[in-house]
Amino acid sequence: MTMNVTILGSNGSYPGPSGACSGFLVQSNQVKIWLDAGPGTLSNLQNLISMSELNAIIISHKHADHSSDLQGFAVANSVVDPIEEPIAIYAPDGVGDDLEPGTDKCLIWNRVHDNDQIEIGDLSIKFSRTDHGPETLALRIDHEGKSFVYSSDTGPNWSLSKLGFGIDLAICEATYLKDKEGQGRHLSARQAAISAKQAGVRQLVLSHLWPTVDPNVALEEAKAEFGQNVSVAKMKENYHI
């Protein structure tokens, strides 16, 4: 199998009605990785695989809209039905600090930082610190000559090109429209598109839109800069690269 990325949730900052915040299931021949654990993503994950099938968890930063479902996972696998083999978790400092004491027995913590590189099964993963509040790590995953980049949250002082050029698939945050540019350490859809174009991204997926943002307007603002091969992330959608 090539690399397969499934959207478990894509709302920015809080979940909209029946929505879920940032979370993705990344699968290859050898591994299944839960990438970001925003609210709602643990539920959606279990519609695809059982929790015990996961080989690793990666959390990009400590904000609740990217990490809060980790608590449920920890309780499920440390208290309710303890797993025999703890699962590796990779995250920057701050992630997990607020977990209920005694509930993280199911996790083996690995702290990762800017420019770190790790291997998980047949996937090579590189991290890059973005322009956001707490330490936040974007990542690039390479597999059999194909590359996937996830921006996590970032302001405009970080670019997808920090993780190299000619990226096959990029899921980039696009929190708001151009009328709000500069109001937070996030990107508009237009800014995400400019960043992706400069990095030679082939396929761009806009994610982390606030539930108040019209996805069609975000798409139009992105297409004006990037071209046609851009879409807005939808829950349960699959990308094969």
Is residue 36 close enough to count as binding Zn ion by CB under 5 A? no
Is residue 126 close enough to count as binding Zn ion by CB under 5 A? no
In the complex, the smallest distance separating the C-beta of residue 27 from Zn ion, rounded to whole angstroms, is 23
Bridging pattern class, strands 230-232 and 203-207:
parallel
Is residue 65 close enough to count as binding Zn ion by CB under 5 A? yes
Nearer to Zn ion by Cβ, of 65 and 135: the residue is 65
Residues in the chain: 241
State how far the Cα of 43 lies from the Cα of 237, in Å rounded to an integer: 15
Size of the site for Zn ion (CB under 5 A): 3
Is residue 63 close enough to count as binding Zn ion by CB under 5 A? yes
Nearer to Zn ion by Cβ, of 78 and 96: the residue is 96
Choose the binding region for Zn ion from 2-10, 28-36, 55-63, 199-207 (rule: CB under 5 A). Answer: 55-63
Nearer to Zn ion by Cβ, of 90 and 92: the residue is 92
100-116 core/surface letters (b: 16 or more CB in 10 A; e: else): eeebbebbeeeebeeeb
Choose the binding region for Zn ion from 40-48, 63-71, 112-120, 159-167 (rule: CB under 5 A). Answer: 63-71
State how far the Cα of 230 lies from the Cα of 205, in Å rounded to an integer: 6
In the complex, the smallest distance separating the C-beta of residue 91 from Zn ion, rounded to whole angstroms, is 13
Choose the binding region for Zn ion from 64-72, 88-96, 157-165, 211-219 (rule: CB under 5 A). Answer: 64-72
Out of 104, 142, 153, 168, the residue judged to bind Zn ion by CB under 5 A: 153
Question: How many other CB atoms are there within 10 angstroms of residue 168's CB atom?
Answer: 19
Strands (E), 144-241: 146-150, 169-173, 203-207, 230-232, 238-240
Cα dihedral 180, 19, 68, 240 sign: negative
Interface ranges with Zn ion (CB under 5 A): 63, 65, 153
